[in-house]
């Protein structure tokens, strides 16, 4: 009973089904491309880390060996958390 489902359709029928839906598939692919591009743009804006402006993201303090007081050495601006 191998390929039971597949055998219900002849190769010709499968090809016809594919041909009938290929436009829809292409349409979906185009929409997915648009969504992907929109998501990329969204991610790019999120990629901008809120790095600490006091140390420019280095995490280093005013003196050698000291940690930045603005970010506690993380280099990332601390967000206010509850």
List interacting residues with Zn ion (CB under 5 A): 52, 54-55, 68, 70-71
For residue 82, the minimal CB distance to Zn ion (Å) is 22
Tell me the closest approach of the beta carbon of residue 48 to Zn ion, in angstroms: 16
Distance CA 46, CA 79 (A): 15
Report residue 30: phi and psi, to 5°: -65, -40
Min dist CB 53 to Zn ion, Å, is: 8
Complex with Zn ion: residue 13 or 70, whichever CB lies closer: 70
Cβ-based neighbours of 17, under 8 Å, separated by 6 or more: 9
């Amino acid at each position: 009973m191998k390929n039971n489902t597949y055998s219900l359709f002849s190769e010709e029928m499968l090809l016809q089904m594919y041909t009938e839906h290929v436009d829809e598939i292409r349409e979906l692919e185009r929409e997915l491309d648009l969504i992907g591009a929109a998501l990329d743009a969204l991610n790019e804006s999120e990629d901008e880390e809120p790095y600490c402006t006091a140390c420019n993201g280095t995490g280093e303090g005013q003196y050698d060996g000291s940690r930045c007081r603005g970010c506690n050495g993380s280099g990332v601006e601390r967000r206010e958390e509850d």
